[in-house]
Amino acid sequence: MTDSADRLNHLDKLALNLVQDGFPIHPKPYDVLAARLKERTGYELSGLEFLNIVNSLKKRGFLRRLGGIFNSAPLGYRSTLCAARVPDEILDEVVATINARAEVTHNYIRANKINVWFTFCHDSVETLNSFLDQLRSIKGIGEVFDLPAKKVYKIRAVFNLPLQNFGPKPEPKK
């Protein structure tokens, strides 16, 4: 059974729904989000109270990261999907090497022969190749693949959380 501190309540879900799409570029974004909450639901929070909910969601593991997503190509960067065949006995070393790089945006372990998958956003082919060569030099590693995109398809991932069945709905403050 999940501890009640680890479950989402109604306000948690409202906050998650609001921060996912159209995060305000504003000196006081949480005040703007609190105003949107009041406008849409009648529930009144201060910007600080809204920020506290977001911080709690992050601390409890419901929110991993809150930040912008940039179109890398116009900024002079390219992103490529990479994959590697990594034996279990060196998995921690390889993952630590990958995760130490600022250019890595995602890193996943998969249950497959090719078991480590990550994206690498780089400003030059030399940067990418140097890093892949570094990985290939780790004793015991298998193949390391560079799988650049031929065409980019962007999806908009917004997870509108249903508000029913997530604890009591709080009474709006007036």
Q: Give the CATH number of the domain where residue 103 resides.
A: 3.30.70.920
Phi-psi region of 43 (alpha: psi -120 to 50; beta: other; left: phi over 0): beta
Q: In terms of domains, do 82 and 17 share one?
A: no
Per-residue pLDDT tens, the chain, 174 aa: give them: 344 456 899 999 999 999 998 899 999 999 999 999 999 999 999 999 999 999 999 999 999 888 887 888 899 999 899 999 999 999 999 999 999 999 998 999 999 999 999 999 999 999 999 999 999 999 999 999 999 988 877 777 777 777 765 445 556 665
Q: In terms of domains, do 54 and 79 share one?
A: no
With 0.75 as the threshold, say if the pTM is over it: no
Give the pair of three-digit tokens for residue 51: 């920020």
Q: Quote the Cα angle for 42-44-47, to 5°.
A: 135
**φ, ψ dihedrals at 25, nearest 5°:** -90, 100
Question: 67 lies in a domain?
Answer: no
Question: 52 lies in a domain?
Answer: yes
Picking from 143, 138, 131, 128, the residue whose alpha carbon sits closest to that of residue 84 is 143
> Domain tally for the chain?
2
Question: How far is the C-alpha of 99 from the C-alpha of 93, rounded, in Å?
Answer: 10
DSSP string, 91-158: HHHHHHHHHT-TTEEEEEE-SSSS-EEEEEEES-HHHHHHHHHHHHTSTT---EEEEE-SS-------
Which pLDDT belongs to residue 172? 60
Which pLDDT belongs to residue 28? 97
Q: In terms of domains, do 77 and 133 share one?
A: yes
Question: 166 lies in a domain?
Answer: no
Range of the domain at 44: 7-59
Which pLDDT belongs to residue 1? 36
Query: Based on the number of CB atoms within 10 Å of its own CB, is 48 exposed (0-12), middle (13-18) or buried (19 or more)?
Result: exposed
Question: How far is the C-alpha of 12 from the C-alpha of 166, rounded, in Å?
Answer: 9
